[in-house]
C-alpha cells in the first residue's frame, strides 16, 4: 500500500507557498515574490 502525496500541482493552480533557506541561510518564501512573475526551477548538484 502506497500513500500518494496529496498535492500534485497543475497548471492553473496557485503555486503552494514555501519557506526555505537561501545559500546563506536566510529564509526565503515564494510569497515574497507576489506581484512579480517567477521562474521556479528545481535542480541539484547530482
Partner 1 sequence: MPGWQRFYEENASKGIEVLTVAMDAQGAAKARPYVELAHGTFQTVVDAENVLGGMYGFRAIPNGYLIDENGVVQYEKLGGFDIRKPETAAIVNRWAEGEDLAAPQDPKAEAKDGPSAEAIALFQKGLELYKADSVDEAMVLWRQGFALDPDNYIIRKQIWAVENPDRFYAGDVDYDWQREQTAKGQ
Q: How far is the CB of 18 from partner 1 (least distance, A)?
A: 6
Q: How far is the CB of 4 from partner 1 (least distance, A)?
A: 5
| Residue numbers at the binding site for partner 1 (CB under 8 A) | 2-18, 20-25, 28, 30-31, 33-46
Beta bridge partners of 28: 20
Q: Which residue in 23, 27, 26, 15 sits closest to 45, CA to CA?
A: 23
Q: How far is the CB of 29 from partner 1 (least distance, A)?
A: 9
CB atoms within 10 A of CB 30: 14
Amino acid at each position: 500500500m502506497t500513500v500518494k502525496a496529496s498535492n500534485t500541482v497543475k497548471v492553473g493552480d496557485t503555486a503552494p507557498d514555501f519557506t526555505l533557506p537561501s545559500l546563506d541561510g536566510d529564509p526565503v518564501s515564494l510569497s515574497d515574490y507576489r506581484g512579480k512573475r517567477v521562474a521556479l526551477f528545481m535542480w541539484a548538484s547530482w
